[in-house]
Amino acid sequence: MKTFSFLLSFVFYSTMCIAKVVVIGLTVPIDITYIENQTVASEQEAKVLAVTLTNKIHEAGYTTSYVNRYQLDGDVCILYVAQSHIVDIQLTTDSDYKESIMQDLLTLKGSVYNRQAVHAFLLQLKEKYILDSIQVNVANYKEGDDVSLIIGVRAKTAVWSFEIATFPIYGVTPSMTVSVPLNKAVISGQGQVGLNEERVTLKKGVLEYMRYPSKIGWHAGLQVSQEYAVWERYGTDFTKTSAKPFLGIGVFGNRGVFGISAFMYGVATWYKVSEQDTGSKLHDTYKDAGLELRIRVTDDRTIAKKNTTFTATLFTGLTQEEYCVTSRAFVYFPLPVTSRLYIIPSGYSFYTTLQNRIYAEYVFDSYLLGYSNRYTATQSRHIARLELMYEVLYEFVFVDIFGSSGIYKTEYNRWEMTSSYGVGADVYYNTMIFNVGCAWNTDETISQYYIFTGVRAKL
């Protein structure tokens, strides 16, 4: 009896088809290792896997792509994916930038439709061209698997931006910016003030005009500011007032997902130093003039926490005392570990040949948190930061832990190292961003901390 039962089992398993899964037609970056490792013993199981793969494709944002058929062929189960490409784009708008907007939209043509990527790209255009709203409908193109994007855009008459944040040294710094779009141009103005427990630490105003009739643009403006400053080496303070007109010409471009701009400016700055008790270490006025190169590379398709950014400036010119070179560079590079976990290396570098205190930067500012009012200044500093960020709710709530370390040249011309660490949280809601966090310098005890907060909004 046992022998007969064994023979029946042997015949049953020998005749049953165990098929390996093969996926054909999928080119987008989706991890399907789990599905490819499955085996199929029936048509019903193949159907279930087809639905599972379709759901996974949709979860990744490719909502119009799907498994359109499956085939059991001997010991192979083939899942055929129909990817939906963007083959047609239609635009209606009252914006003066219609031609430029359409040129940007055409970069989507030929790509596989991804709802999240398209949504993020349209948000980027909304910021770039100061638009009030963008509506998009997705329709099958000629009743096939590919799609048409039918986009409606409404222009904005003005954009108001508000920000209230806390910064080391400067304290609470409310600011407001208004931008008015013109015909292939934009004019904007910004006002900012800083206040701590004792005094007004900063007053700043900027007026700018940007014109970009094509890939080449013009940028002109005037920046005026008044800043309370401390010369830590001598234990004295002073007020620095400056006026900085600038005029530049540059180019705009796109390289893959990145927007790129490079501008060369003619810059002149006038400084007045007053209310100081510096033992005649500073003059009453300073002047400099020269050329400044500004480069910006950024991926603005999504919200700021996940945007790759690189900015750099290089100034070379003359002061009333000497020839000078000043450079600044910042890089921020989010690397996804999972769909919600990111490792974010970033860095900041500053260097100037000028030894005068008015050209120095504070060491312990927002790039190296930990102190609220330590006034150490430097002519050269280089900071690296590593952040671990988790997206608790998709593009809504983020939490992070971070550590920063840097070297800087002291006011006594010696190199020193310093480090800090902290935790933070960011909440994004429509056009508003809230953030809060706490940081410590490694040279201090846990009871010596700095709390930073901020809120930004755009109307």
pLDDT band at residue 203 under the 50/70/90 scheme? very high
Query: Residue 120: its pLDDT value, please?
Result: 78
pLDDT band at residue 304 under the 50/70/90 scheme? low
Res 280 pLDDT > 70: no
Among 343, 326, 333, 335, which Cα is nearest to 310's? Answer: 333
**Average pLDDT, rounded, for the chain:** 88
For 129-149, the pLDDT digits (tens) are 788 889 999 999 988 899 999
Among 437, 399, 403, which Cα is nearest to 420's? Answer: 403
Res 256 pLDDT > 60: yes
| Burial (CB count within 10 angstroms: exposed 0-12, middle 13-18, buried 19+), residue 447 | exposed
Res 58 pLDDT > 60: yes
More confident residue, 385 or 393: 385
Q: Can you tell me the distance from the alpha carbon of 285 to that of 240, in angstroms, rounded to the nearest whole number?
A: 9
More confident residue, 125 or 287: 287
Query: Residue 15: its pLDDT value, please?
Result: 43
Residues whose CB is less than 8 angstroms from the CB of residue 40 and which lie 6 or more positions away in sequence, other chains included:
18, 19, 20, 21, 46, 49, 72, 77
Query: Residue 3: its pLDDT value, please?
Result: 42
Q: Can you tell me the distance from the alpha carbon of 385 to that of 331, in angstroms, rounded to the nearest whole number?
A: 10
- Grouping H, G, I as helix, E, B as strand and the rest as coil, residue 365 is coil
Among 255, 252, 248, which Cα is nearest to 222's? Answer: 248
pLDDT band at residue 127 under the 50/70/90 scheme? confident
Res 185 pLDDT > 70: yes
For 403-444, the pLDDT digits (tens) are 999 999 998 899 999 999 999 999 988 778 999 999 999 999
- The yes/no answer on whether domain 159-458 falls in CATH 2.40.160.50 is yes
Q: What is the CATH number of domain 86-155?
A: 3.10.20.310
Range from 102-111, 296-305, 421-430 carrying the lowest mean pLDDT: 296-305
Res 2 pLDDT > 50: no
Residues whose CB is less than 8 angstroms from the CB of residue 289 and which lie 6 or more positions away in sequence, other chains included:
266, 267, 268, 269, 317, 318
Res 306 pLDDT > 80: no
What number is the average pLDDT over the span 346-368?
Answer: 94
Query: Residue 283: its pLDDT value, please?
Result: 74
Range from 113-117, 298-302, 367-371 carrying the lowest mean pLDDT: 298-302
Q: What is the dihedral of CA 435, 259, 83, 22, to 10 degrees?
A: -80
Q: Can you tell me the distance from the alpha carbon of 375 to that of 231, in angstroms, rounded to the nearest whole number?
A: 7
Query: Residue 252: its pLDDT value, please?
Result: 83
Res 352 pLDDT > 60: yes
CB neighbourhood size of 199 (10 A): 11
Judge contact between 46 and 80, C-beta under 8 A: no
CB neighbourhood size of 285 (10 A): 12
Query: Residue 4: its pLDDT value, please?
Result: 38
Backbone torsions φ then ψ of 10, nearest 5 degrees: -65, -45
CATH class (in words) of the domain with range 14-82? alpha beta
Domain 14-82 and domain 86-155, same fold? Reply is yes
Query: Residue 279: its pLDDT value, please?
Result: 54
What number is the average pLDDT over the span 305-331?
Answer: 91
DSSP 360: -
Listed by start position, the domains of the chain span 14-82, 86-155, 159-458
Res 328 pLDDT > 90: yes
DSSP 106: G
